[in-house]
Structure formats: C-alpha cells, structure tokens
Amino acid sequence: MAEEVAHRNDTRIEKAARRANFPFVKTIEEFDFIFQSSLRLQQLGPYLGPELVTGGRTLILSGRPGLGKTHLAVAIGYRAIQNGFTARFVGASALIDELGKASRAGHLREAAAEWVAPDVLIVDEVGYLAHATDAANVLFGVVDQRYLHQKPLILTTNKKLKSWGEVLHDHDLAAVILDRVLERGAHMVLGGRSWRTKHIDPEILPDAGADPESPRRPLTSLGASEGRRAGRGAHLARPPAGPSTRRCSRHKPCLLQSSLRRPIRRVTFPEPPSFPDNSRHSFRTPHTRIKVARMLASCRVRSTTRIKVARMLASCRV
C-alpha cells in the first residue's frame, strides 16, 4: 500500500513538473552553496516550504549571468510541486510577447488569467532581451492579479531594480510592479564567478566588476569588520604577508612603515682565545671591560648575540 502511494506521488510530481514547462529539473540539494557563497540555504528557507504558497511570498533573484538564478527559481518551483502545489515557468520575453499579441487582439484579460492560475509563477530573465514598448502595461495585469490573489511570483533578472523603468519602458508602472512584488517578498542579489566559466582561468576573462546591487562591495575597499558585517561567505582581502605587515588583536590590517624600523647590525665576534687554567692572561682589567661595553652599546646587537658575548666573556674569566 505504501509503495502504491509513493508511486502515485512520484507520478503526480513528474506530470506537474512536465506541465510547469521547466527548461530543466534542478533541486535545491543540487545547488552548490560553497561555490556560490553569496547566498545561504537559510535565506531560502521561507520559499522551500508550504508557506511559500500559503503566505503568498514573492522573490526577485538578481545578478550577473551564470550565477545560478534560474537554477534556484526552478528548484523553488519544483519544491512547491513536491509540496502539492502547481507551478509554471516562462521567460519574460515570451510572456510579454504573448500578452502583447493578446492585448492587440483585444483579449488581454483572458490571456493574463492563464498566468494567474498557477500557484507559483516563475518569470525568468527580465531585461535580458529588449522588451516591447508596451511591456509594463501587459506585465502589470499579471503582477496585479497575482498580488490581489496573494499568489507567489518568482522573478530573475540581471538588471538593477532602479533600471527597470528603462527595461519596461515606463518608470511609473515599473515602480508600481516592484512595489507589489516586494511587499510580501524579498530581493536577493547573487555575486561571485559564473558557473559556466569556473573551469577557465579568471585572469583571461574580461573583468565584469562587482555587482552594483550586491551587499558585498568590492572587498579591497572593505575593512575586516565591514566584511564580517557583509555576511558569511565574503572572502576578505587580507594584506600580503611580509616583514612589514602584522595583524593586531582586532584583526585590522596594521602596516608598519619600514622607515620606523632601524636596520639591525649583525656583529660577529672572533672566537675567544684559549688560555690554560694557570695562565695569567685574562680580560679582568677595567680597560677591557669598558672597551667591550662601548662595543656593545655602539652596535644594536640582538639579544641572542649578547648571550653569545656573555658566554664568550664568561669562558675567558672576565
């Protein structure tokens, strides 16, 4: 009986995933949070349980290409299917083109209802391609209806949120769309290297720079304490180890100017002469002691050298 129930559940998940039109099936367990250290699994916790649908949560994943945004969006949708809900995946350009054709044909409401029906809607790659001039008008209908019905919406983009007005060709409607999406949602920025080129030496790749919206700013401009506040997984840029670098108790890089360090003069003393036990030759005269004292004072010798000198003088019965 248990095997039959498990088989039916697997069949349901398989059919629902096929109807969701995912470009591929990825799970959250397959995501490498070690390589993509700008995001933690705990941050995605509210989107991996039934509360994603019951709470009507929304999410925007932004960052440069190749950072795993689509993987995470598909994994969230697939987890919703495993929890008993329905999901639908669509590219932003395809959705806007379809809604634009329906708007020009006079049945935009009916076309938008198809994208309001799923429990979870994933709109991928907002701003990757140039959208039609009526993009904001047709997209607002879907976003507004899902907002009113408190249905989750997952968006991925490589554009800054403040540039969505240019992407959708309407600054006012873009602000309204983001206002509705972010009321019950979150904006997560991914950083780091691309998955697709992780096997390539980064030195030969063009410098894409830091994500302008990433909470982890360029680490070369961060102190150690700021880097810790930026979140776990930020690899701090430490100063190169060397004789003029040290780290104090607060872990702040402290650079000692080399000019403040006087060069240490190494002094090499000759081997002491060997005298027989009954010899009258020794360094017991005051003149010899003064001479040795002046020599040590004029030469900034190391403590180890002083010990050697003391042993030498002791062996000569000074």
Q: What are the residues facing 169 on neighbouring strands?
A: none
Tens-digit pLDDT profile for residues 135-194: 999 999 999 999 999 999 999 999 999 999 999 999 999 999 999 999 999 999 999 989
Spatial separation of the C-alpha atoms in residues 152 and 52, rounded to whole Å: 7
Best CA proximity match to 189, nearest among 234, 220, 158, 218: 158
Q: 190, 36 in Cβ contact below 8 A?
A: yes
Spatial separation of the C-alpha atoms in residues 285 and 294, rounded to whole Å: 15
φ, ψ for residue 91, nearest 5 deg: -75, 150
Spatial separation of the C-alpha atoms in residues 268 and 309, rounded to whole Å: 10
Report pLDDT for 252.
43
Spatial separation of the C-alpha atoms in residues 164 and 126, rounded to whole Å: 9
Report pLDDT for 202.
76
Average pLDDT over residues 71-92: 98
Report pLDDT for 239.
40
What is the band of 82 on the pLDDT scale with cuts at 50, 70, 90?
Answer: very high
* Domains along the sequence of the chain with CATH: 2-215 (3.40.50.300), 263-318 (no CATH)
Spatial separation of the C-alpha atoms in residues 119 and 83, rounded to whole Å: 11
Q: Cβ atoms within 10 A of the Cβ of 226, count?
A: 13
Best CA proximity match to 121, nearest among 82, 93, 100, 95: 95
Q: Is it the case that residue 273 has pLDDT exceeding 70?
A: no
In this structure, are strands 245-247 and 253-255 parallel, antiparallel, or unpaired?
antiparallel
| Residues near 117 by beta carbon (within 8 Å), at least 6 away in sequence | 86
Report pLDDT for 45.
95
What is the band of 283 on the pLDDT scale with cuts at 50, 70, 90?
Answer: very low
Q: Is it the case that residue 260 has pLDDT exceeding 50?
A: no
Task: Compute the radius of gyration of the chain from its Cα atoms.
Answer: 35
With vertex at residue 239, the alpha carbon angle to CA 237 and CA 243, rounded to the nearest 5 degrees, is 160
Average pLDDT over residues 292-305: 64
Question: What is the three-class DSSP state of 170?
Answer: coil
> 87-123: string of b/e by CB count within 10 Å (b at 16+)?
bbbbbbbebbbbbbebbeeeebeebbeebbebbbbbb
Average pLDDT over residues 200-208: 72
